[in-house]
Amino acid sequence: MFKTLSRSTILMFSFDFIIFIFISLWLCNYSGFQDNIKIPACLLITLTGLITLFLKGNYIIREFNVTFWNAYRLFEGVVFAHIPAAIFLFFFVSKRTLCEFLGFNILTIFAGIYLYRLCFHFYLFNIKKVKKVLIIGANDRAKTVAEVIKNKKALQMEVVGIVKAAETDKKLSESLSKAMHFDLTQSDWNVINKRIYDEQNFDYKDCPIFENAKDIIEILNKTNTDIVIWAYKSHLVPAIPQQIKMYLMPEFYEMATGKFYVDEDTVDEFAYDVHNKYSESIYNELKRIFDIISALIILTVTLPITAYIAIRVWLTDKASPFFTQTRVGKNGKKFECYKLRTMYINDYVPKNGTDVKYAESVQTDDRIIPFCRFVRKARFDELPQMINILKGDMSIVGPRAEWEKEVKVFEETIPYYNLRQIINAGWTGWSHINMNPVFSVEEEKERLAYDLYYIKHRNVLWDIAILIKAIFLACGGRHK
């Protein structure tokens, strides 16, 4: 999330900063605010606005599009930006002046930012150069990344071809082995032969397939390639001109999707890299401090909400409003997870299978107590999990803590599923704020990809950003 920022993102962020600060200053002057309150008010609006738009995903260029929903989210973000300033100004200006300032400022800033978004959208899809992408290696990875580029129009990329390179790579390997007087292992040859077999059976209709990687320079020139993506590591790397950007497929996939690419090769290094990166890291101590402080604040602030829900649930059927459920946490350790009950008393057991619903939709499930439908959408039923966080069973941010019976199903059907148990389960997480509720094994595979991406790149600043975005979504009853 914090690895790289594109020039388009920096430009958009800078323009938003200018809009927020200058329109706010102009309207503060127009409203006759005193000098000692103008600067604090403008800085509050600008800082809160930029953070809010960032948390709402307004700077994720790969997802950019002009839609009614994005316009609404932008307007909502601008409104949120004015809440701290409104509280501050409440004590210094008249109520009428404050209302007029807030109304004009919100509408003017929204109009300015949205107009820029429209111009940026036109530039992105009509003027900006479309980058030509050549994929080297014809296998499932190549097909996956080609589909990502085709479906994410805002990337402004076009796959101009896929090169079959395994045969050439085998010949290069044989030549290097003889020249350097070393022998490749049988395992190395098995990998190369498998690549050759995959390429012989490769079929993809949406772009040209080049059969001979020996002509790589000619292919690059013919296709005017800007970016090369390697579907696997190859001895051909030195042949690529320096002006062409190069990515390994898993690296590019992460940047384009915010997900980890899960296959045999990537998971081989995953656990090792994560262990070495975090085993002696100060992150673990900071994470625990963040968990405790956040849990105490959330538990205290939401105590009236929790009490109200508990009383209403108890009045519904005179049964305990709280219950525990066995969940699976770090290293497969089981713990009792605390929740508010939102369903009538039942004995629900998840189904088994390769692609089955293991949970019902909140809107159609008649086991849910009617007034608790919003409670579940806002995730208020999970507020008691702050106790689990204080006990150390969970963290504020991490992979979802799954029911032990669901975990058994997923471990049998999803390869490498237990990798998500390297860290504590979370009350919210990267997959929570990016996905809708999961109802099938295929969707759970996608959630695993989000979880592993988080585990690989996690840091305290990102944890804070995920928590704040989760709170925004929960307050609007739109938590994924």
DSSP 93: S
Range with the largest mean pLDDT of 261-270, 346-355, 357-366? 261-270
State the CATH architecture for 131-258: 3-Layer(aba) Sandwich (3.40)
For 413, left (φ over 0), alpha (ψ -120 to 50), or beta? alpha
Q: Is 460 helix (H, G, I), strand (E, B) or coil?
A: helix
DSSP 399: S
- Would you say residue 232 has pLDDT above 80? yes
**For residues 214-220, average pLDDT:** 88
Task: Report yes or no: 365 and 379 within 8 Å, Cβ to Cβ.
Answer: no
The span from the CA of 250 to the CA of 268, in Å, is 13
pLDDT of residue 160: 95
The span from the CA of 452 to the CA of 160, in Å, is 30
pLDDT of residue 436: 79
- Would you say residue 113 has pLDDT above 80? yes
pLDDT of residue 360: 53
Task: Report yes or no: 414 and 385 within 8 Å, Cβ to Cβ.
Answer: no
- Would you say residue 75 has pLDDT above 80? yes
Alpha-carbon distances of 74 from 203, 259, 416, 462, rounded to whole Å? 42, 24, 38, 21
- Would you say residue 4 has pLDDT above 70? no
Question: How far from each other are the two terminal CA atoms of the chain, in whole angstroms?
Answer: 19
More confidently predicted of 10 and 309 = 309
Tokens of 324: 């525990």
Tokens of 308: 């109200």
Residues β-bridged to residue 18? none
Nearest 10 degrees: CA dihedral of 293, 294, 296, 297? 110
Average pLDDT of the chain to the nearest whole number: 86
Strand-pair category, 322-328 with 209-210: unpaired
Ramachandran angles phi, psi of 135, nearest 5°:
-105, 125
Residue 205, classified by CB atoms within 10 Å of its CB into exposed (0-12), middle (13-18) or buried (19+), is: exposed
The span from the CA of 207 to the CA of 195, in Å, is 20
- In the chain, where the domains are located: 7-127, 131-258, 276-475
- CA proximity to 194, closest of 251, 254, 141, 262: 141
Q: What is the spatial order of strands in the sheet that 131-136 belongs to?
A: 209-210, 157-163, 131-136, 227-230, 245-248
pLDDT of residue 310: 93
**For residues 58-63, average pLDDT:** 72
Task: Report yes or no: 136 and 116 within 8 Å, Cβ to Cβ.
Answer: no
